[in-house]
Structure 1
Amino acid sequence: MAEELVVLGSFQHETNTFVRNPRVTTRDDYRVRQEIFGDDAIEALRGAEVATGGAIDVAEERDVDLRPIVVANATPGAPVSEDTYEFYTDTIVEGAREHADDVDGVILPLHGAMVPEHLDDGEGPLIARVREVVGPDVPISVTLDLHGNVTQQMMDESDILVAYKTYPHLDKAETGRLGMNILVDTMRGDVDPVMHFERPPQIIYQPKAYTPSGPMAEMMDLAREFEALDGVLGVSILPGYYHADIPEMGVTTPVVTDGDADLAEEISRELAQTLWARREEFVEEYPGPKDAVAEAKAMAGDLDDDSGPVVMGDFGSNPGGGGASDGTTILRAMIDQGVENAGYAIMHDPETVDACLEAGVGERTTVTLGGKTDDRHGDPIEDLDVYVKAITDGVFTNTGTSHTGTGLVNTMGPTVHIQFGPKDGVSAIVAGTRYSAFDAEVWRHIGIQPERLDVLCIPSFIAFLGDYEPFSGGVVLSDTPGASAVSPDRFEYEKIRKPIFPLDDLEDDYYPE
């Protein structure tokens, strides 16, 4: 029988402070995406490829009594409303309080880029409140998304902090396992974790954080080399999340060692200085929507029939980064350029869904598609004649190597497959909720074989490539407008620390001096 008790609380959000509509993220958004209380989390997430799933598996393997309080996650978007933030924070804190006399450790699978409407940091104050309840001697382990903005308070109030090393995020469960294993080792007196982190003054463009290849792949290889050294427990590189205008936005390099503060500082600083020396490699320009579609069409025309589709990323509309998911610039270019056998998923447009539900499968109707959230994601495509090919309930299970986790069940609500454009050559999946098509099963559940398309586009940076690149014939990424646009030059920052590269021209010796 397990003698050690660990409390688990997971409250996650990637907050884009530049989102205008809706103004805040509410509890309803969590209910749509994920809200699980108590032991139901164990049944729902055991073996799942998410951080909480990894923590659950280690707890069972190492005979630890794990007590989940809540697991809550919402689609990235506007700042979390104050009442929503306080509800989940209070839930976790009160859950910890119930076990305060018996708790041996706490694990908090968080994101790291949460911004409540009334605070600049969502995770730091949450960890601090848990610390107040459990006291200074109970170890707290925190796992983060690679896009977290690590704050000083997060470091001060936790004992262990580790983050994903892959983007697309294919090591969520592995990170949960690491955080839980270090926690259990700490509880049993086998290790004594100490931490250090550095913050080089630079922004890493989100697509340049891609870890299967390129400069970030080399940096993560270096992190793994350090992590394999004796006395090193965890080494993380977080490119951060620059769509959050907060004072502590930016790149960080947290390192956890077994009682050796000097070693933690040495490794953290070497990683930060290497990132700084290579800062130009983490910035890039990408084609606009018209040029990107032309490039994808030409590329598809040169491929063999069995090569797979050209897959495109629509940056600005990316719901995974807070975008509206109703951007029209890529779709308009596809129609104008006569692209055939093409697909787009997922378009967020409740009005179009309702119109298609009223028309019914096999019927044609006229809709105004997309561009309804605000004026930043392209104009609505008006008077568009569409054929309603299929309607589903929007429920499907991730089956691929997915950024959101293999095995997770998605519930989008009523979802339609429409065809339009010359010869009805463009297909779009339209849903009433903002949802990321990170797993290709979203196409199959509505009757589309994505492997048989010539061109397909996902509103995303590169997270979708985890499942799509293996069957693709090529990749084209596009700098489209929107709340999730790739270039920080598109945004007006008021709170971030400056100067910072590339918004400011900095000499080599600016950092670390």
Structure 2
Amino acid sequence: MKKRIALAGIYHESNTFLPTKTTREDFQNGHLFYDQAIREEYQEAHHEIGGILEVFDKSNVDIYPLFFAEATPGGMITKDTYLQLVSDLLSKLQEYGPWDGVMVCAHGAAVAEEYPDMDGDWLSQVRQQVGGQVPVVCTIDPHANVSTRMINATDAMVAYSTNPHLDQRETGRKAARLMLDHLSGRVVLTQILSKPRVSISIEQQATAEYPCSLLYAQAAEFLKLTGLLSISIVLGFPYSDVAKMGSAFIVVADDQRGEADHAAKSMGIYLEENRHLFVGERIDAQAAVEKAMEMESPVLLLDMGDNVGGGSPGDGTILLQELENHGGQSYFICLFDPMAVEVSDGAGEGADIRLTVGGETDELHGSPCTLKVSVVKLADGVFIENEPRHGGQVNYNMGRIAIVETADGSTLMLTSRRIPPFSLSQLTTFGVDPQNYDVIVAKGVNAPVAAYAPVCPSLIRVNTPGVTCADATQLEFKNRRKPLFPFEDWSL
């Protein structure tokens, strides 16, 4: 009889500094799939689930997609939402079991009300239900905050190796091969966690750039050692105020616990010794706009303080107001603003109106901005991305959208749902040509680069304030561990 593997996941990056909570509706508006719908969505996608399915479909082991829930990064998940999601997952495991193994897809930085280590909690419940002898292999985002509980609940955890995340499908393949090798007896999965006293600054987390590239070069050297199967560099998510927040290393080995422990500890020591490299040099909005005038256009201005991919509201106006005040540069910017969409919809295409946009969520991301605009397009904001891009998703839905233009030829896209800027199709599907602008504002740090680098020869990461500000020491933490650089420093 063929061995049977379950596939399930709960995926969320939770920013605990946001007052708004993430609900089941947010998962329904994101990606909430059961059974065969998971395969239909991800079979060909550049997503870890696609890679997992690909490997098992070519094997003599059957895989059963059961449940997957993912919502756009946002505030802490409500307790009721979390309990319902984990209940759905466990019910599926119970209904179709028993299992010879479980593949799980987690983000690793999920936080729910009363469950600060949400991923550790649901992974532990999966472990408890299937039993200690059934292997559990997990993929995670490198922006995870990893806990000992997460490690204890799994036999192997494998993080993507790129940021922007372009290797998600390959990570799924890698995780699936580890499971098959373990099931066949070719390897005995063992993993070690190292938690150095460092939180890598968000703008220093581009994996191909210095200094982050140093960590991956060192990992490649350690992987030459006999018995080491995987080294995950977990960059961490600095916007979750939880005890496990910070960077980490996970080493998976073939029953070589000593070698794995040596590699994990050495990587941690290296990061601690070189911690001062991982604090960025920052430029504010005014200086960034002025600098952009001297650079080859279009210039990509990355709005770090209003990073939708880090949970930020997406309605920040600081860069918009700076561009308006400075003048002389045409720009494109996307804002989450359902009310502005409604007003534009009421006016109709072709209407010239005074429209107030942005700055509604809180006082951190700028005040509302009133502009004279023409409504050039109203549409349902559905688009598709087929290329490898950060996040690995194919289908996106911004809800109802309005595209408006200012007198100087600048364009604002207004959306009814928060969608991170991971795809150029977000523009081109609706007739927006990025080459027409001097400046493109993308609300992110590293993730948008995969999509926008082909059309933007220049980029500036802008140090804007907000709940995803580059300098996380400006945020008020109550629960993180201490000491933790750059919040505290120490003498080694």
Q: What range is the shorter-chain TM-score in?
A: over 0.9
The counterpart of 1:443, out of the listed 413, 424, 427, is 427
The counterpart of 2:221, out of the listed 206, 225, 240, is 225
Equivalent position of 2:4 in the other structure: 5
Q: Is the 8 A contact 1:205 1:486 kept in 2?
A: yes
Q: If the length of structure 1 is used for normalisation, what is the TM-score? A: 0.94
Residues 465, 7 of structure 1: alpha-carbon distance in 2 compared, 3 angstrom cutoff: same
The counterpart of 1:134, out of the listed 111, 130, 134, is 130
Q: CA RMSD in A?
A: 1.3
Equivalent position of 1:368 in the other structure: 356
Equivalent position of 1:38 in the other structure: 35
d(CA) in 1 for partners of 2:466, 2:288: 16
Q: Is the 8 A contact 2:340 2:356 kept in 1?
A: yes
d(CA) in 1 for partners of 2:217, 2:68: 31
Deviations 1:206-229 (A, max 9, x none): 110101221112211322333344
d(CA) in 1 for partners of 2:113, 2:435: 42
The CA deviation at 1:485 is 1.0
d(CA) in 2 for partners of 1:291, 1:401: 33
The counterpart of 1:419, out of the listed 371, 383, 405, is 405
The counterpart of 1:456, out of the listed 418, 440, 452, is 440
Say whether 1:324 aligns with 2:313.
Answer: yes
The CA deviation at 1:100 is 3.4
Residues 63, 428 of structure 1: alpha-carbon distance in 2 compared, 3 angstrom cutoff: farther
State the AA in 1 paired with 2:60: D
Q: Is the 8 A contact 2:189 2:252 kept in 1?
A: yes
Equivalent position of 1:403 in the other structure: 390
d(CA) in 2 for partners of 1:446, 1:399: 16
Deviations 1:176-208 (A, max 9, x none): 111111011111211101111111111111110
d(CA) in 1 for partners of 2:398, 2:199: 33
d(CA) in 1 for partners of 2:435, 2:190: 48
Equivalent position of 2:70 in the other structure: 73
Q: Is the 8 A contact 1:206 1:486 kept in 2?
A: yes
Q: Is the 8 A contact 1:399 1:439 kept in 2?
A: no
Deviations 1:3-50 (A, max 9, x none): 111111111000000001x2x100100111101111211121102111
Deviations 1:399-440 (A, max 9, x none): 44411226x0111111111112xx333211110111111111
Equivalent position of 1:504 in the other structure: 488
State the AA in 2 paired with 1:372: E
Q: Is the 8 A contact 1:196 1:255 kept in 2?
A: yes
Deviations 1:78-105 (A, max 9, x none): 111111111111111122222333x110
Q: How many residues align?
A: 492
Equivalent position of 1:275 in the other structure: 271
The counterpart of 1:314, out of the listed 303, 311, 334, is 303
State the AA in 2 paired with 1:100: G
Say whether 1:198 aligns with 2:198.
Answer: no
- SS of structure 1 residue aligned to 2:219: helix
Deviations 1:438-497 (A, max 9, x none): 111111112111133221010101110012113222111111111111111221110001
Equivalent position of 1:429 in the other structure: 413
Q: Is the 8 A contact 1:59 1:65 kept in 2?
A: yes
**Unmatched runs of 5 consecutive residues or more in structure 2:** none
- SS of structure 2 residue aligned to 1:78: coil
The CA deviation at 1:297 is 2.3
Equivalent position of 1:393 in the other structure: 380
The counterpart of 1:47, out of the listed 44, 47, 58, is 44
Residues 470, 227 of structure 1: alpha-carbon distance in 2 compared, 3 angstrom cutoff: farther
The CA deviation at 1:247 is 0.7
d(CA) in 1 for partners of 2:435, 2:265: 44
The counterpart of 2:155, out of the listed 159, 166, 189, is 159
Q: Is the 8 A contact 1:355 1:365 kept in 2?
A: no
Q: Is the 8 A contact 2:303 2:443 kept in 1?
A: yes
Between 1:210-219 and 1:77-86, the stretch displaced more is 210-219
**Unmatched runs of 5 consecutive residues or more in structure 1:** none
Equivalent position of 1:25 in the other structure: 22
State the AA in 1 paired with 2:401: T
Q: Is the 8 A contact 1:161 1:256 kept in 2?
A: yes
- SS of structure 2 residue aligned to 1:143: strand
- SS of structure 1 residue aligned to 2:194: coil
Residues 228, 175 of structure 1: alpha-carbon distance in 2 compared, 3 angstrom cutoff: farther
Equivalent position of 2:291 in the other structure: 295
Say whether 1:14 aligns with 2:10.
Answer: no
Equivalent position of 1:88 in the other structure: 85
State the AA in 2 paired with 1:463: A
The CA deviation at 1:250 is 0.8
State the AA in 1 paired with 2:3: E
The counterpart of 1:486, out of the listed 457, 462, 470, is 470
